[in-house]
Amino acid sequence: MRRLGNYNIQNRIGEGGMGVVYRALDLRDGSEVALKLLHPQFREDESRRARFLREGEYAQSISHGGVVRILDLGEVHLDTADRTLFLCMELVKGRDLLQVISRETPQQRWVAEVGLAVAEALLAIEQAGIVHRDIKPGNILVTSEGVVKLMDFGLAYRLGEAPSASGPAVEDEATQPASGLTLFGSVVGTPGYAAPEQLRGEQVDARSDLYALGATLYQMLTGALPFSGTNPREILRATETAAARSGLGTAQTTAASSVVVAKLFAAVPGVSVRFAQLVGALMSAPMEQRPSSAVHVSAFLEAMLLDDPELDSRLEAPDGKRLGAGTSAWMRLKDWLDRKES
């Protein structure tokens, strides 16, 4: 067992683009914690050090049960002359959502419950003025008791501040990794989940995180993503040209969400109509066609969980309704919510 400052490191439990995570024992109170250490190759890289510290500071500023708590952050010296930055986090005992859905076929109701938990956490992030920029199943933990927690603020930034990484979304296609990996530098985020404006390197806000939530819900329901490719350019092209290829409509604001809905019904015909509409609305290509805040998504999911019997349908059911392309998905949802409230 290796000691590092106030912690005894026990075993390695994960690794990300910025650091390695270990299970550790806090010697001050005997509690088990997760200790994230900056990768050795970045220890003297001032930009990476600043980004690592921002990750801890942003997460610390959010007080919500659906966000992994940061207990401590700072710098310690190793046995050698080297130094390293660390984040001490609550140890969440469970699996990430990607592990869950890769081994099991979840029920629609459970998917909606997880979606509601994530939306509520995103609302807390939104209220703190922060954009996560890397919402995906691999960054969502589910405990054995069913508690859902968001983690990894390594790409987050506070609105009004200069992003930690920005620029044009796509450079040399040959140098870009597959869509499941988080990218740094020219592309910020994970292309399979990142909103079109994020892939283009444009300004993002809370609606960009909602797009990623939509992609996550789609993957939970179907086991795949609606738009894929070997690099960000291909994914962006697929997203932007889906309407023209599908023939579902000519208006981007209408067809973009309709394409997602059509793909969802084709993959899982038994999906709830309202659930499909929500996923389509979240994944609308233009930002202004998505819900404006996670508060609306939370309200819709709460209502759906209370009175949508289709959530208990098996996803492989042979028959299912299909949506037309006449009205944007989010406008249909808003109309439905307004009727419920009146």
HSE-CB for 248 with a 13 A CA cutoff: 23
Contact 187, 169 (CB under 8 A): yes
Contact 62, 124 (CB under 8 A): yes
Classify 115 as helix, strand or coil: helix
Q: CB within 8 A of 197, min separation 6: which ones?
A: 203, 204, 208, 287
Task: For residue 182, give both structure tokens.
Answer: 């988080």
Q: Which of 26, 96, 134, 152 is catalytic?
A: 134
Q: Is 134 a catalytic residue?
A: yes
Query: What DSSP character marks residue 183?
Result: B
Query: What DSSP character marks residue 142?
Result: E
Strand order in the sheet with 94-96: 94-96, 140-143, 148-150
Q: CB within 8 A of 63, min separation 6: which ones?
A: 124
Q: Is the dihedral of CA 35, 63, 149, 295 positive or negative?
A: negative
Contact 188, 198 (CB under 8 A): yes
Strand partners, 89: 34, 70
Classify 333 as helix, strand or coil: helix
Closest CA to 330 of 240, 153, 211, 249: 211
E-assigned strand segments in 91-204: 94-96, 130-131, 140-143, 148-150, 157-158
Q: How deeply is 158 buried, as exposed, middle or buried, from its count of CB atoms within 10 A (0-12, 13-18, 19+)?
A: middle
Q: Please list the active-site residues.
A: 134
